[in-house]
Amino acid sequence: MTKTLGLIGAGNIGSALARLAVTAGLDVVLSNSRGPKTLADLLTELGPRARAATPAEAAELCDLVVATIPLGAYDQLPPAALAGKTVIDTMNYYPDRDGHIAELDEGGLTSSALVQRHLADSKVVKAFNNIDFVRLFTLARPAGAPDRSALPIAGDDAEAKAEATALLDVLGYDAVDIGTLAESWRSQPGTPVYVDPYFTAKPAKELNQKEMYGWYVQAPGTSVPADRIRALADSAVRPAPDHA
C-alpha cells in the first residue's frame, strides 16, 4: 500500500481526501492549477505530512495519484508523468460546468473511459465519484466499524483495483467492484448509487441557495453498506444517449 498519495486537484474532494489521508498516517502531495503557493493555508491545516507541488511533480513523486479536477480539464492531466501509475478518477461529467463532450453526450463512452484514453499508459480506477465531499469526510470509519460505508470502484486492471481497494480501506471505506471502466456508467450522476443514498433525508421545505448550502454542509450522512451499494449499482439503467 502506498505511503504517499498524490492529488491533482485540491478543491472539495481533493482536500477531503487529503484530510482523510493524513489522518490515516499517509503523506500527501497536493497540486492544483494555480500553483503550490496557493495551497499554503491547506498545508498549514494538514500539517507536516502534506506538501504542495505542480500536477506533474505530484504525479512523478507518487505511485498512486488521485485526479480530482473538473472533467472539462481532463486533457490537462499529464500523461507522461502519470505513465505506469494507478490513477484514481473521481470526476463526473456535468456539461453545464465542463462544456459538452460529444462522445459522452452520445453515450458511447463513460467519462472514466475517456480519461483512460487520455492517460493511455496509466491504470485508471473510478472511485470517490458517487459521494459528496462533506459525507466523504464525515462517513469515513475504520475497518470493521458497524457503520462503515462502501463506495463503488470500476477499472480495467485488477492490480490497480486492488490498490484502490487498499486506499479506500485505509481512508475509511469498503470497496464494491462494479466492473470495468465501460461499466462505470453504473455510478455516474443520475444513477441510484449516486450521492443520495448517503443522505438521511432531503430538506423539509424549499430552500434558497444559501439556505441549501447551510443544510447541505450540516446534513447528517447515513452509512451505506457494501450489499446496498451492490444492489443499487445492479439496479442502474443506462440513460438514453443525448442527441440534443
Ligand X SMILES: NC(=O)c1ccc[n+]([C@@H]2O[C@H](COP(=O)([O-])OP(=O)(O)OC[C@H]3O[C@@H](n4cnc5c(N)ncnc54)[C@H](OP(=O)(O)O)[C@@H]3O)[C@@H](O)[C@H]2O)c1
What residues make contact with ligand X under the rule CB under 6 A? Answer: 8-14, 32-34, 38, 55, 68-71, 73, 76, 90-92, 129, 132-133
Between 88 and 160, name the residue whose CB sits nearer to ligand X. 88
Between 159 and 196, name the residue whose CB sits nearer to ligand X. 196
| Residue nearest to ligand X according to CB distances in the complex | 11
Q: Would you state the cell numbers that stand for residue 232, as one nine-digit string?
A: 443499487
Beta-strand relationship, 4-8 and 27-31: parallel
Closest distance to ligand X from the beta carbon of 23 (Å)? 18
Between 12 and 23, name the residue whose CB sits nearer to ligand X. 12
Between 158 and 190, name the residue whose CB sits nearer to ligand X. 190
The whole-angstrom separation of Cα 99 and Cα 16 is 25
Residues 6+ apart with CB under 8 A from 119: 77, 79, 82, 87
CA 69 to each of CA 32, 92, 98, 119, 132: distance values in angstroms, whole numbers, following the listed order: 8, 9, 10, 15, 14
Closest distance to ligand X from the beta carbon of 192 (Å)? 16
For residues 239 and 186, the answer to whether their CB atoms sit within 8 Å is: no
Instruction: Supply the DSSP string of 191-220, one letter for each residue.
Output: STTSSGGGBS---SS---HHHHHHHHHHPP
Closest distance to ligand X from the beta carbon of 186 (Å)? 15
For residues 230 and 176, the answer to whether their CB atoms sit within 8 Å is: yes
Closest distance to ligand X from the beta carbon of 144 (Å)? 25
Between 152 and 163, name the residue whose CB sits nearer to ligand X. 152
Closest distance to ligand X from the beta carbon of 155 (Å)? 16
Residues 6+ apart with CB under 8 A from 8: 14, 31, 55, 58, 59, 65, 66, 67, 68, 69, 77
127: phi then psi, degrees, rounded to nearest 5: -160, 160
Residues in the chain: 244
Closest distance to ligand X from the beta carbon of 205 (Å)? 23
Between 58 and 170, name the residue whose CB sits nearer to ligand X. 58
